[in-house]
Amino acid sequence: DLSPIESFWSLLKRSVRKNLKPDDTLDRLESVLKEEWHNLRQETIDSIIGSKPSRIGQIIRSRGELTHY
């Protein structure tokens, strides 16, 4: 997917999973989500957005076939 938000959601999902237990409440989930979202570093955001031209180039070269992203 070329949408940067999909990459952010993937990172957030992994971070949240590391910090939740199966018996945690919805309030705990909300708290962890907010905390992990705020912990997302600007360098990470810049890197994801900066990788888009390369990803687009790979898709063009692969003529729309799957790439390693």
Condensed to tens digits (0 to 9), the pLDDT of residues 24-60 reads 999 999 999 999 999 999 999 999 899 888 888 888 8
Check residue 68 and give its pLDDT: 67
Check residue 17 and give its pLDDT: 95
Q: Which amino acid belongs to residue 40?
A: L
Residue 62 has pLDDT above 90, yes or no: no
Distance CA 68, CA 42 (A): 24
Check residue 63 and give its pLDDT: 82
DSSP 24: -
What are the C-alpha distances in Å from 15 to residues 19, 55, 58, 59?
A: 7, 24, 28, 28
Check residue 69 and give its pLDDT: 58
Residue 9 has pLDDT above 80, yes or no: yes
Distance CA 42, CA 64 (A): 30
